[in-house]
Amino acid sequence: MSSGSADNRAAFDEADLISDAQANSGLGDFGEDEFREPLGVLLKSLREEAPLNDLGRTLMRSRILESLETRLKTQDWILRYPEILEEEIAAPLVVIGLMRTGTTMLQRIIASDPRNHACMWWETRFPAPHRGTDWSQSEPRIPIAEAEVAAILEADPRQASIHPWDANAPDEEIMLLEHSFLSHVPEAFANIPTYRSWITEQDWTPSYLYLRKLLQSLQWQKRQRGNVRERWVLKTPGHLGYIDTLFDVFPGANVIQTHRDPIDTIPSAASMNHAMWALYSDDTEANVAGAQWQERLAWGTSRAMESRKRYDADRFVDIWFRDAMKDPISEIERAYDVFGIEMTDAARAGMEQWRVDNPRDGRPPHQYTLSEYGLTEEGIKRAFSEYRAQYIEPRIEV
């Protein structure tokens, strides 16, 4: 049990959190209760295991409280506007792949096609509108999100080299999955092995059903602002382990999977997640973060390879990192062709403008080494042997 466990027990009491969320929001109805069990497991793991510092404890409690309030507010909007659940999330394009393989760039370029919806970072962070929102006025959640991004970058300047943080740009819906308490987000912030092991064994259908509900709500919100489009562009590396669930809940989904040698991506992912651990805890071990994230990403990659065997090949398009860096629009056009989507002049113009506006050299380089995180090339090759044999080794330039 961690030295901070007494403080943790006070911070992560379930009854107190539920009561505070209801008091803060003035609401009482959470809707369906599938979140209760995962919430309980997460809170127990945080109370008994997480080596949180005072800042980390405050931030983790705040995130959990915000998720509970999001569920209350979302349910309130749905009760008042039941047509939200009639919104159709048809044939989303879903970008998946290991961290550091170009998924963010591809999502943002595809989202610049004026026919496509995407979740802005502020929407993934604060998906429930304020009560009494006037859809003709500026969105009050945006400045809150902008301030949070600024605070993140001030607290840890390394984050600017790891991810292109922008509250007003498309980002991944992993933070929407977070609100079900069945997600990989908590393990990115703290070492909580019990929760980490438990979620690995669970059926994530409730998490994806809640993701769909939040997307329906966000699509309805966009509609209130006069923003109506044909499809969503989703993205998160976490979908790698849940393709079957993704396709069950979004039966029209098509997947773009990005590929890059794990030797290049795993230490970067370890660096990114250890940077988060270091913010939330004074007692972090880089080797533990490295080992956990190598194992998690190898697990997800293996699951994705098995899942893909069960579906028609034309539901997937593979894009290699080097090709995406060289000519991403051509790679996207190839994917569009497989999925039966026309590359219009307006789509191409939007994508080309995004590239002009977002040069990669505008951000500092992300620097790290394998040894910093207890990783070795040999260990990564073993963990990803089947994946590298199928996707990487045939394309290695001699």
162 — pLDDT class (breaks 50, 70, 90) = low
Percent of the chain predicted with pLDDT > 70: 95
Q: Is residue 37 part of a domain?
A: no
Token pair for 353: 């403008």
What's the CA gap between 296 and 291, in Å, rounded?
9
Q: Is residue 51 part of a domain?
A: no
Q: Is residue 212 part of a domain?
A: yes
- The sign of the dihedral angle between the CA atoms of 216, 220, 225, 227 is positive
> Per-residue pLDDT tens for 12-45?
999 999 999 999 999 999 998 899 999 999 999 9
Question: What per-residue confidence (pLDDT) applies to 97?
Answer: 96
Which residue range forms the structural domain that includes residue 381? 91-395
What's the CA gap between 151 and 149, in Å, rounded?
5
Percent of the chain predicted with pLDDT > 90: 80
Q: Is residue 176 part of a domain?
A: yes
Average the pLDDT over 354-359 and give the result: 93
Phi, psi of 256 (to 5 degrees): -105, 120
Residue 388 DSSP one-character state = I
Question: How many domains does the chain fold into?
Answer: 1
Q: Is residue 47 part of a domain?
A: no
Q: Is residue 95 part of a domain?
A: yes
Can you tell me which residue has the tokens 């990659």?
301
Q: What CATH number has the domain bearing residue 384?
A: 3.40.50.300
Q: Is residue 40 part of a domain?
A: no
The model's pTM is 0.94
Q: Is residue 152 part of a domain?
A: yes
Give the residue among 176, 205, 183 at the shortest CA–CA distance from 71.
176
